[in-house]
Amino acid sequence: MKHRLAVFDFDGTLADSFPFFLASFGELARVHGFRPLDRGSLDELRRLDARQLMRHVGLPPWKAPLVAMDFRRLMAARTAQIPLFDGMPALLRDLADAGVELAVLSSNSRDNVQGVLGPALSGLIRHLDCGVSLLGKKRKLRALLARTGFSPGQTVCIGDEIRDIEAARGVRAAAAAVGWGYTLPDALAAHRPDTLAHTVAQLRDYLELA
C-alpha cells in the first residue's frame, strides 16, 4: 500500500454529525452572540472555509474555542444518536488489518469521538488527537508526524473540509477529500486534493483496499 499512516478527520468524515451541527448552531449563536445560519443560503455557506464562515456569522477568532467547547458539551449528551457513515467501520478495520496505522485528528473531544466510534473501533485508532483548534490542524499534524516517525510521503489525510486539505498541503502529505461531509464537493475540488471521493468505495480504491 502506498500509505502507512491514515489520518482521519472525525465530524463529517467518519461521523455523520452535520445534522447535529445544524440543530445546535442556533443555540450556540444565541449564547455567544453571533449570527445564526441562514438555511436558505446553506449551499453557499457550505462552500466557505472555516475562516470565511466565522467572518460570515460574525464569530471572532478569540471566541471560537469557547464555541467549540460548548459544541462538544452539547454533543456529549447525544453521541448515541450520531451514526458513522455507512462503510466507514469496515474501512477502518480493513486498513488496520492491512498494517496501516490509524489516527484521528479532530476538533471534537476524545470522549465524543470514542463514544461515537465505540470500543472496538476506538481500539484500532493508534493516535487520537482531540480538541484541536479550528485553525490549528497543520501544527497538530506536523507534531503527529514527528511523534510517529512517518514521512509525509507515507501519510494520507482524509477529511471533509477545506482546512483538512490545507493541513495536509502544509506538511506535504497526501490530501484525500470526501464529498459526504460539511463542505460541498465542488468547493473541495477547487482546492485540488489528491483525490475527491464521492463514495466510500471510491475512497477504498484510492487507498488500495480491495
Contact 8, 42 (CB under 8 A): no
Active site residues: 9
Neighbours of 14 (CB within 10 A): 27
- Decide: 188 and 162 in contact? Cβ < 8 Å: yes
Q: What count of other Cβ atoms lies within 10 Å of the Cβ of residue 69?
A: 12
Tell me if 176 sits within 8 A of 156, measured CB to CB.
yes
Distances (CA, A) of 155 to 50, 77, 120, 142, 148: 23, 33, 23, 11, 11
Bridge partners of 102, per DSSP, are: 6, 125
The DSSP code sequence of 18-59 is HHHHHHHHHHHHHHHT-PPP-GGGHHHHTTS-HHHHHHHHT-
